[in-house]
Amino acid sequence: MRIGVVTFPGSLDDGDAARAARIAGAEAVRLWHGDPDLHGVDAVVLPGGFSYGDYLRCGAIARFAPVMESIIDAARGGLPVLGICNGFQVLCEAHLLPGALTRNQHLHFRNRDQWLKVESTNTAWTNNFTGGQEILIPVKNGEGCYVADAKTLDALEAEGRVIARYVRGNPNGSQRDIAGITNEAGNVVGIMPHPEHAVEALTGPSLDGLGFFTSVLRALAGATAGGQLAGGQQ
């Protein structure tokens, strides 16, 4: 399986996302922001960082990168896409996910090891977790406060599209403690904490982050075998 990792100018965790994909057993393929060719990858990770210096608004410029046009099209067609941190911001700016990420409520960048509760496990990126499972993943962001209007938040909860919530403390003020969400089809996931930094005992607080990457491999294997992505109804 080939997982593409996009590098925008200012992407920082792109190498780490590629490493995580490799550790999970995939082939990591680096994608360049200026190249619309997806090189036949089976899934895409939009990594953390400060794409285009976070100028204008986090993710607002990246959303118009040539590679994003291809990714937006492919995601609407079912390609599994994971946006981590800045990648989550890009997905919101691209309207693949609802809502927005705003300045942390306490106005500081915050980096800590954060407990999450996985809620929705019927997505391409979370199917290897169990519902209610608590996982420990580093969070590090300055603008990670998830906001949306009440109707959207209610709909996300009603449709089981909140994939994880912050537990034992909310690090940035996100509404309803939301750490990550998915689209209606379950193939596009955005998450603020960094699963790619919890994939090795030597460098991470846990190995919990691997679950996101093994999930997509499982979803892809299922899709190959059954002709359908795991992202749909289960």
Partner 1 sequence: MTTQQDKPSGFAATDVLVNKFEDGPDTVEKAEKAPDELQPFADLGLKDDEYAKIREILGRRPTASELAMYSIMWSEHCSYKSSKVHLREFVAKVPKNTRMLAGIGENAGVVQVSDDLAVTFKVESHNHPSYVEPYQGAATGVGGIVRDILAMGARPIAVMDPLRFGAADHPDTARVLPGVVAGIGGYGNCLGLPNIGGEIVFDPCYQGNPLVNALSIGVMPVERLQKKEATGTGNIVVLMGARTGRDGIGGVSVLASATFDEEAEQRRPSVQVGDPFMEKLLIESCLELYDAGLVSGIQDLGGAGLTCALTETAAAAGTGMRVWLERVPLREASMSPTEILASESQERMLLIVTPENLEAVLKVAEKWGVWATAIGEVTPAGADGTPGRLLITWNDHVVVDVPPGSLADDGPVYDRPMREPSDLILLQADRAETLHRPSTGDELRETVLRMIASPNLCDKTWVTEQYDRYVLGNTVLAQPEDSGVLRLDEVTNLGVALSVDGNGRYARLDPYEGAKLALAESYRNVAVTGAEPIAVSDCLNFGSPEDPAVMWQFAQAVRGLADGCQQLGIPVTGGNVSFYNQTGAAAIHPTPVIGVLGLFDDVTRRIPMGFKNNGELLFLLGETRAELSGSEWAWVTHDHLGGRPPKVDLAAEQALGKLMAQASKAALVSAAHDLSDGGLAQVLVESCLRHEVGATVTFPADGESAFVQLFSESAGRALVAVPVGHEKAFVALAAEFGVPIAQIGVTSPEATLTVTDQFAIPLAELRTAFTETLPKLFGGSAELVNRAAPVEVEAPVSEGRSVTLELTEPKPGGPIES
Structure tokens at 157: 């909860």
Active site residue 85: yes
Active site residue 145: no
Decide whether 95 or 168 has the Cβ nearer to partner 1: 168
- Minimum CB separation of residue 139 from partner 1 in Å reads 10
Cα 197 to Cα 138: distance, rounded to the nearest angstrom:
7
At 90 the three-state DSSP class reads helix
- Minimum CB separation of residue 8 from partner 1 in Å reads 11
Cβ neighbours, 10 Å, residue 202:
4
- Minimum CB separation of residue 173 from partner 1 in Å reads 6
Report if residue 196 touches partner 1, rule: CB under 8 A: yes
Structure tokens at 107: 């106005």
Among 56, 76, 203, 224, binds partner 1 (CB under 8 A): 203
Instruction: Give phi and psi for 229, each to the nearest 5.
Output: -70, 150
Among 123, 126, 174, 215, binds partner 1 (CB under 8 A): 174
Contacts of residue 24, defined as CB under 8 A and 6 or more positions apart, other chains included, come to 199, 210, 213, 214, 217
Q: Which of residues 19-48 bind partner 1 (CB under 8 A)?
A: 19, 48
Among 36, 206, 222, 232, binds partner 1 (CB under 8 A): 206
Report if residue 55 touches partner 1, rule: CB under 8 A: yes
Active-site residue, from 93, 119, 143, 196: 196
Interface stretch with partner 1, choices 37-45, 74-82, 93-101, 168-176 (CB under 8 A): 168-176
User: Per-residue x/- mask for partner 1, residues 93 to 112, rule CB under 8 A?
Assistant: ------------xx-xxxxx
Cα 37 to Cα 34: distance, rounded to the nearest angstrom:
9
Decide whether 64 or 109 has the Cβ nearer to partner 1: 109
Active-site residue, from 58, 92, 143, 194: 194
Active site residue 134: no
Cβ neighbours, 10 Å, residue 42:
21
Looking at this protein, which amino acid is placed at residue 22?
Answer: R
Cα 142 to Cα 86: distance, rounded to the nearest angstrom:
10
Report if residue 117 touches partner 1, rule: CB under 8 A: no
Helix, strand, coil shares, percent, the chain, to 5: 30, 25, 45
Q: Which residues are catalytic?
A: 85, 194, 196
